[in-house]
Amino acid sequence: MAVRAVRGAVQLERDEAGHMDEQVSELLTAILERNSLTTEDLISIWFTATPDLHSDFPAAAARKLGIVDVPLICAQELDIEGAMPRVVRVLAHIESDLPRSDIAHVYLGAAAALRKDIAQ
């Protein structure tokens, strides 16, 4: 079993805790489903949020999904002029037999523009 990394992102429509919870939950669920993963396959998850998001920690959504025994951390993205606003990014470390080329990175909605090089 290899250690792999899965990336993902979602752009929020507004900075509200309930909306963040909904969108981050959707992102994490999609990452798990598209890579045929369970929570047992997760090693750790890094979340970053753009500086304009203040309503909640993205990791709180993971805990509500039942990801309770996996190390999670939140950090703030660099405040770059012209960067897409209200974005939560995910970097999940996983155990998987998938080759690196078969890992499905998930960019939902408008966040797909962040990585046009990765097929959705």
What tens digit of pLDDT does each residue of 23-50 get? 999 999 999 999 999 999 999 999 999 9
Q: Determine the structural domain holding residue 56 and report its residue range.
A: 2-115
The reply to whether 93 falls in a domain is yes
Position 89 in a domain: yes
Total number of domains constituting the chain: 1
Domain contains 120: no
On whether residue 16 sits in a domain, the answer given is: yes
Band the pLDDT of 120: cuts 50, 70, 90: low
Residue of higher predicted confidence among 114 and 52? 52
- The contacts of residue 33 (CB under 8 Å, 6+ apart) are none
Q: Which two tokens stand for residue 117?
A: 């090089």
| 7 annotated ligand-binding residue | yes
pLDDT greater than 80 at residue 89:
yes
Q: Is the residue at 30 inside a domain?
A: yes
Residue 89 annotated in ligand binding:
yes
What CATH number did the domain enclosing 101 receive?
A: 3.30.1330.40
pLDDT of 119 over the 70 cut: no
Tokens matching residue 90: 């995910």
Position 118 confidence tier, pLDDT thresholds 50, 70, 90: low
